[in-house]
Structure 1
Amino acid sequence: MIALPLSALEVAMVQTGTRAVDTLRDTTEFARRLDALGYRRLWYAEHHHSPAIGAFPPVVLTAHAAASTPAIRLGSGGVLAPNHAPIMLAEQFGTLAALHPDRIDLGIGRGPGTFDESTARALRRGADPTTDEEYRQDVASTLRLLVDEVALGPLPEPWLLSSSTAGAALAAELGLPIAFAHHIRPDNTLAALDHYRAHFSPSRWCERPRVLVCVETVCAETQEEAVRLAGPMNVIKAGLLKGQSDIPFPSVEEASAHRFTAEEQQALAAFGAQQAHGAPELVIRRLTELAARTGADELMLVTPVYALADRLRSYELVKQHAVQPTPPGS
Structure 2
Amino acid sequence: MISIPLSALEVAMVQTGARAADTLRDTAEFARRVEDLGYRRLWYAEHHHSPAIGAFPPVVLTAHAAALTSSIRLGSGGVLAPNHAPIMLAEQFGTLAALHEGRIDLGIGRGPGTFDESTARALRRGAGPTTDDEYRDDVSATLRLLVDEVALGPLPEPWMLSSSPAGAALAGELGLPLAFAHHIRPDNTLASLDHYREHFSPSRWCARPRVLICVETLCAETQQEAARLAGPMEVVKAGLLKGRGDIPFPTPDEAAAHSFSADDVRALAGFRAQQAYGTPETVAKRLADLVDVTRADELMLVTPVYALADRLRSYELVRQQIVMPAAS
Residue 116 of structure 1: aligned partner? 116
Q: Does residue 304 of the first structure (1) align with residue 299 of the second (2)? A: no
Give the CA deviation at 1:259.
1.3
Residue 31 of structure 1: aligned partner? 31
1:109-164 CA deviation, whole Å, 9 max, x = no partner?
A: 00000000000000000012110000000000000000000111110000000000
Give the CA deviation at 1:315.
0.2
Q: Does residue 140 of the first structure (1) align with residue 140 of the second (2)? A: yes
CA–CA distance in structure 1, aligned partners of residues 205 and 98 of structure 2: 17
Residue 327 of structure 1: aligned partner? none
Give the CA deviation at 1:201.
0.2
Residue 128 of structure 2: aligned partner? 128
CA–CA distance in structure 2, aligned partners of residues 272 and 228 of structure 1: 14
1:75-107 CA deviation, whole Å, 9 max, x = no partner?
A: 000000000000000000000000000000000
CA–CA distance in structure 2, aligned partners of residues 67 and 288 of structure 1: 34
CA–CA distance in structure 2, aligned partners of residues 256 and 151 of structure 1: 52
CA–CA distance in structure 1, aligned partners of residues 24 and 2 of structure 2: 31
Opposite residue 307 of structure 1, the aligned amino acid is A
SS of residue matched to 1:184: coil
Residue 163 of structure 2: aligned partner? 163
Residue 68 of structure 2: aligned partner? 68
Give the CA deviation at 1:238.
0.4
Q: Does residue 93 of the first structure (1) align with residue 93 of the second (2)? A: yes
Q: How does 1:172-321 map to 2 (within 5 A)?
A: 172-321=172-321
CA–CA distance in structure 1, aligned partners of residues 185 and 323 of structure 2: 28
How many corresponding residue pairs? 324
Give the CA deviation at 1:243.
1.2
Residue 328 of structure 1: aligned partner? none
CA–CA distance in structure 1, aligned partners of residues 321 and 315 of structure 2: 10
Opposite residue 321 of structure 1, the aligned amino acid is Q
SS of residue matched to 2:3: coil
Opposite residue 113 of structure 1, the aligned amino acid is G
CA–CA distance in structure 1, aligned partners of residues 73 and 250 of structure 2: 31
- Percent of paired sites with the same residue: 81
CA–CA distance in structure 2, aligned partners of residues 87 and 243 of structure 1: 34
Give the CA deviation at 1:2.
2.1
Give the CA deviation at 1:323.
3.0
SS of residue matched to 2:2: coil
CA–CA distance in structure 1, aligned partners of residues 9 and 151 of structure 2: 27
1:152-210 CA deviation, whole Å, 9 max, x = no partner?
A: 11100000000000000000000000000000000000000000000000000000000
Q: Does residue 79 of the first structure (1) align with residue 79 of the second (2)? A: yes
CA–CA distance in structure 2, aligned partners of residues 191 and 45 of structure 1: 24
Give the CA deviation at 1:244.
1.3
Opposite residue 30 of structure 1, the aligned amino acid is F
CA–CA distance in structure 2, aligned partners of residues 205 and 277 of structure 1: 34
CA–CA distance in structure 2, aligned partners of residues 317 and 271 of structure 1: 22
1:241-263 CA deviation, whole Å, 9 max, x = no partner?
A: 11111000000000011111111
Residue 9 of structure 1: aligned partner? 9
Residue 151 of structure 1: aligned partner? 151
Opposite residue 264 of structure 1, the aligned amino acid is D
Instruction: Flag structure 1 segments of 5+ consecutive residues without an equivalent.
Output: 325-330
Instruction: Flag structure 2 segments of 5+ consecutive residues without an equivalent.
Output: none
CA–CA distance in structure 1, aligned partners of residues 243 and 110 of structure 2: 20
CA–CA distance in structure 1, aligned partners of residues 8 and 223 of structure 2: 22
* TM-score, normalised with respect to structure 2: 0.98
Residue 21 of structure 2: aligned partner? 21
* CA RMSD in angstroms, aligned pairs only: 0.7
Residue 4 of structure 2 contacts residue 323 of structure 2 at CA under 8 Å; is this kept in 1?
no
